[in-house]
Structure 1
Amino acid sequence: MSKCILMVIVISLFSGCKITPFSAQPQTFASYYLWIKSLSTEALKAELSIINQQTENSAFTDTKRVKLALLFALPRMPQHNPYTAKTHLNQIDKSYFSADDLAFVELLSEQLNQQIIALNRNVLTNQKLERITDKNVQINEQVKKLTTQINQLKSIERDIQPQELNQ
């Protein structure tokens, strides 16, 4: 644990960022979200590292899972991943949360669901676009072949017509 704290201090000194001490962190998930939203990218990485270090030393708690979900759901987080965030949320027992925290977690869960649906639609749309592009390439190749054949037939027809006139 002391190595982790030393690492965070060294990172903050070299990066010039200010990291709020753990004891000064907010107590509700909504205030935690507002707090991490105000952090720099380096501080976000450090916060993720701290939580990961804590989970290596002890079991995952529902609070840690929600914090991880919030970190992974944050768009400017370098490790932004709505799938990972949703996985963490799916593994928590919400029965112990306050009404405010439960509402916040449910809202986050619904937002992640919508984001995942949009990402999946985007993937499907890109796949359809690829198939259409491939089909278009095939059709263009067929058009070129047919154009070449038509030109060859026209050439043959021009060669045959003068011979017919001479007979």
Structure 2
Amino acid sequence: MLGTGISITPDIWDTQLPLNIDDDHMWQGLTSPPQEQMGATDMMFCLSRLCVSQFLSISVKQRQDHHEADLAISKAESEVEEKYILYCDIVNPLHFLTIGLARSGITALRLRIRLSNVKPQNSTNAERRAAFKLAEKIVDTDIAAYAHDAA
């Protein structure tokens, strides 16, 4: 999500997201699909990132109104918080990374929609400060992830 464009949009394929399950829910000879779990699993890091990136690729590009985009981002944030972050234990390095990168991704979405308005000739100091605060929050989250004991 760092300056790269999306070459193939998710709306042109029908591949489903992976299930929120642990690795030990699958084994050779499994006769029926495993049931998706609520809570912390081996897949929650990947799924939280997919949720944010899927939202980025579909929703933000379709929204011209910044207020509408903010509401949609808040909806995506709620989904990530309720499905994944709620169940994280910050002592677990993968959970800590999940929290940090999911929240950083959501903040990056907010920053991305504001940057289109932040131009020196037509933006206010308040708009530039708000964009700077969002960028600062992303950097702070990344620093916290790198500073974690297990990093």
Q: TM-score, normalised by structure 2?
A: 0.33
Higher relative contact order (CA 8 A, sep 6+): 2
Q: TM-score, normalised by structure 1?
A: 0.31
